[in-house]
Amino acid sequence: MSSDTTKIIPIDPEVLWPEPDMSILEPHDPPAPELSEQDFLKIFGPVSGWINDAAEVKGAPPDYVALALLSTASAAIGNTRWASPWEGWREPCIIWAMLVGNPSSGKSPALDAVLDALRPIEEELQGEYRAAKQRWQDEVEVAKIAEADWKSRVKNSIAEGGQAPPKPAAARIEESPIQSRIRITDATTEKIADLLAKTWRGLILQRDELSGWLLSMDRYSNGGDRPFWLEAYGGRSFTVDRKSSPDPIQVECLSVSVLGGIQPEKLSRLLVKTDDDGLLARFLTVYPSSRSPKRPQRDLNQGFMEGVLRSLHDLQPVANERGQLSPGYLTFTEAARQELNAFRLACSDLEEVSTGPLRSHIGKLPGLAVRIALILVHLDWAGASSQKSAPQIIQAAHVKRSVHYVGKHLLGHAQRAYGTASLPGEVENAIRIAKRVLDKNLREISSRDIQRNRIIGSINAAELEKVMAVLIDLHWVRRKPFNGFGRPSKTFLVNPRVHQSKPLPKRPGKH
């Protein structure tokens, strides 16, 4: 009987794995649009130099500084000026601005450059409030003495069978003064409504990170704060019922601009998961390419921008004979109306062939172009070396500049920012799991791990199966062999070649 001398050769498990498709990790965003120097100068006119200087000094893309300035300028103007292209169409001076970028992309420094120019006005308003509060406190002391004297006379008069004397004006205590504000960073809707009801002009909500604010919208019942903010974008009248008082707060013009940053992945999750009520569509968005930091070669004339914002804030509303305030409306010339109407038709055509959250955003662009034109005409006026009287009309040139900026440049940024949101949900979630596999150097991963660590948020078993099917098709994972009967294994082996093909770490400043 001959012995079997066949040699058993161990099988290398890596040989049995096909090459994984690593393209799932490649950026899905279209390239960031850029304005030529000529177009930038044409759009932003006398403030274009300051925007470029601020961007260089702060190490931030000019697109961040420019959009932050437009939103801040809208709050400085507030309800003193609205735009009316034609009868029946009125747009408030309100801009919601979202700066999209990864950490260290320059979002916060860009915000600082603009908001630092706003601080002298805020400090002045605070000083005026302190002085008014001190005067009020002094008047309260006098009123208390007068009230005590009046009460004594009432008591004596009644005791003698006479009539109570009327309360003198000196005994009446006026309501405490409220501090006028331009910027807020956090407040309840009730507090914001109360502030606007008493100061009227308008506010800007500034947040370094917008995702937390947007996610907090639904923390209360009955739709949370979303209805309030949808109205705040339109500057309409609004009533807020108070828990602490039977009297509601009546706001004539609920006007709040919004300014802040957000990371691309967080924006993508919001776009995919949120109800399409148009809230996110109201934001103008910039998502520029990252830049390597470099030493600035110029100085920033902060006094120039302080003067611009002060001129805008010095604008006064219109008051009727009864003292009621209303905005001053800037009308459009006939040529400006024609430019705007052509843009409306172009947006309508583009909206028909668009899908998802971008379609809703495109529908808002004509109104946003009106608002930006209103701001540009005032920035031209405030930034001029010799100021004339405040503008009264909006010319075709301002509409052309606004349409180019909003309808071409910022639309390109929105398409880039919304890019990953247009991916099928299972593909987007597969990307997140793939990144987790690489980041944690995982050799296997289970459905339980994915759900317990909330790698892709809350998801049911059927949806997770679709996600894992994507990774199986791309040869990233396969089911772990299951020796038994029943349901297939919910643990997945990771292709070892995934880690061999892992992209090299990127240098700081490169993305």
Residue-wise pLDDT tens digits, 82-109: 999 999 999 999 999 999 999 989 999 9
Which is nearest to 99 in space by CA: 85, 84, 86, 109?
A: 109
> What's the whole-number mean pLDDT along residues 5-24?
67
Q: How confident is the model at residue 9 (pLDDT cuts 50, 70, 90)?
A: very low
Residue-wise pLDDT tens digits, 414-431: 999 987 555 667 887 898
Q: How confident is the model at residue 507 (pLDDT cuts 50, 70, 90)?
A: very low
As a whole number of angstroms, the distance between CA 117 and CA 307 comes to 8
Q: What confidence score (pLDDT) does residue 161 get?
A: 83
Q: What confidence score (pLDDT) does residue 380 get?
A: 97
Residue-wise pLDDT tens digits, 254-268: 999 999 999 988 888
Residue-wise pLDDT tens digits, 358-397: 889 999 999 999 999 999 999 999 999 777 899 999 999 9
Residue-wise pLDDT tens digits, 222-246: 446 888 899 999 998 888 877 667 7
Q: Are 94 and 74 in contact (CB under 8 A)?
A: yes
> What's the whole-number mean pLDDT along residues 284-300?
88
Q: How confident is the model at residue 199 (pLDDT cuts 50, 70, 90)?
A: confident
Return the biggest CA–CA distance within the chain.
140
Comparison of pLDDT for 503 and 424, the residue scoring more = 424
Neighbouring residues of 97: CB distance < 8 A, sequence distance ≥ 6: 67, 68, 70, 71, 257, 258, 259, 260, 283, 284, 285, 286
Q: What confidence score (pLDDT) does residue 487 get?
A: 65
Q: Within a 10 A sphere around the Cβ of 38, how many other Cβ atoms?
A: 8
Average pLDDT, the chain: 87
Neighbouring residues of 280: CB distance < 8 A, sequence distance ≥ 6: 214, 270, 271, 274, 357, 360, 361
Helix (H, G, I), strand (E, B) or coil at 509: coil
> What's the whole-number mean pLDDT along residues 8-33?
72
Structure tokens at 223: 């739709």
Q: Are 217 and 225 in contact (CB under 8 A)?
A: yes
- Is the predicted pLDDT of residue 7 greater than 60, yes or no? no
Q: Are 457 and 273 in contact (CB under 8 A)?
A: yes
- Is the predicted pLDDT of residue 217 greater than 80, yes or no? no
Least confident of 27-31, 76-80, 350-354: 27-31
As a whole number of angstroms, the distance between CA 335 and CA 22 comes to 53
Q: How confident is the model at residue 273 (pLDDT cuts 50, 70, 90)?
A: low
Q: What confidence score (pLDDT) does residue 272 get?
A: 64
Q: How confident is the model at residue 11 (pLDDT cuts 50, 70, 90)?
A: very low
In this structure, the dihedral spanned by the alpha carbons of residues 318, 321, 322 and 328, taken in order and rounded to 10 degrees, is: -10
> What's the whole-number mean pLDDT along residues 123-152?
91
Q: How confident is the model at residue 276 (pLDDT cuts 50, 70, 90)?
A: low
Helix (H, G, I), strand (E, B) or coil at 249: strand
Residue-wise pLDDT tens digits, 166-188: 988 888 888 888 888 999 998 88
Q: How confident is the model at residue 501 (pLDDT cuts 50, 70, 90)?
A: confident
- Is the predicted pLDDT of residue 446 greater than 80, yes or no? yes
Q: What confidence score (pLDDT) does residue 270 get?
A: 83
> What's the whole-number mean pLDDT along residues 459-482?
89
Distance of CA 16 to the CA centre of its chain: 49
Q: What percent of the chain has pLDDT over 70?
A: 89
In this structure, the dihedral spanned by the alpha carbons of residues 109, 111, 117 and 121, taken in order and rounded to 10 degrees, is: -140
Q: How confident is the model at residue 13 (pLDDT cuts 50, 70, 90)?
A: low
> What's the whole-number mean pLDDT along residues 296-314?
95
